[in-house]
Structure 1
Amino acid sequence: MNPYLPRAAACLLAAGLMSAPAWAADEPKGFRIGLEGREQASLADVGLPGYPGARPYSESQGDKSAVTLGAWAGAFGLRLNVMKFQVADTPERVAAFYAKALAQHGQVLDCREPAARVKPPKDSDKLHCDGGLPPAGEYEYRVGTGKQFRVVHVKPLGDGARFDIARIAFGN
């Protein structure tokens, strides 16, 4: 199961109960509520390049390799775009590729570093890594702010690697 989906589901529920997202700023004024769910996402949605030779990954029949989820109510919104891939290259090579790609969007947090997991003050929009260290041999990088960020998680898969890329945006 994708590690971002349980958190995203909880956020979507909260968004539905709370308050239109920043990407709907051109919508007519007024209170609007909406949900979006698609079994697809694109590299343009995530805002990251594709890894050469990568192909979509699904763990089992019916598991989707990409998903877009969104919810908005009033002035609050959430959008989540996630894509899963597999590739014959090593996790180290994939991680290095995406660390460089993420750097084009700002300072990259390496979630293997203890300083990246320090939770900022409640009123801060500073990005941090949730939870503990990624398991040995895995990589997780983040870039952006606490409300708009991208995440790449890379782990071994046989002789190659599996990786998830995501863009998460909380709008208000």
Structure 2
Amino acid sequence: MTPRHSLAVLAFVLISSTAAADGDFSLGVEGHSRTEATDVGLPVYAGAVPFKDGDDDKSAVTLGAWAGKFGLKVAALKFRAATSTERVASFYAKELARYGDVLDCRDPAARVKPPKDSDRLSCDSHEPKAGDYEYRVGTARNFRVVSVRRDGEGARFDMARVDLRF
């Protein structure tokens, strides 16, 4: 089983065990590579091309699992652009701002964990490497994230939308 399949199965097991007491619910698992930028809600940087880490890799994937009102869905895409990380990062910081206040994960304040019962979004506890960028926007349960890093003379960037329902 690949890590992608493991994530979907784990989410399914966790969600279905929580929702089993509900007598009226739907149940399902989704996984495919037909993911488009519209699934994330962001445009593709001009001139960017899909990126795969290897022959067995996919440049786009959607994974989801749900049971009743509980669920998880992740849509993710990977690209490469022949331009600087700064230009790509600036483009996505502006695009993400359409959805609210953008967190810049290079800022230590963005990595402070909110209280457990808060729906406030935060970044992971690790700081992006020097010259890398990571931006997030939304809530802890429904957010978009873009990470940009140097790739030779150009930039590699990933974008995703995460939707948790519970």
- TM-score, with normalisation over the residues of structure 2? 0.89
Distance 2:140 2:115 in 1: 11
Offset at 1:17?
A: 3.5
Query: What are the within-5 Å matches in structure 2 for residues 1-172 of structure 1?
Result: 9=8, 11=11, 13-19=13-19, 30-172=24-166
Equivalent position of 1:26 in the other structure? none
Change in 2 beyond 3 A, CA 1:13/1:110: farther
Q: CA RMSD in A?
A: 1.9
Q: Deviations over 1:124-165 (max 9, x none)?
A: 000000121011111000000011000000001110000000
Offset at 1:116?
A: 0.2
Structure 1, unpaired ranges of 5+? 20-28
Change in 2 beyond 3 A, CA 1:8/1:98: farther
Identity of aligned residues (%): 54
Distance 1:59 1:86 in 2: 11
Offset at 1:30?
A: 1.8
Distance 1:134 1:17 in 2: 35
- Confirm or deny: 8 A CA contact 1:112 1:139 kept in the other structure: yes
List structure 1 segments (4+ residues) > 2 angstroms apart after TM superposition: 5-19
Q: Tell me, what secondary structure is at the counterpart of 2:122?
A: coil
Q: Alignment length, in residue pairs?
A: 159
- TM-score, with normalisation over the residues of structure 1? 0.86
Change in 2 beyond 3 A, CA 1:94/1:16: farther
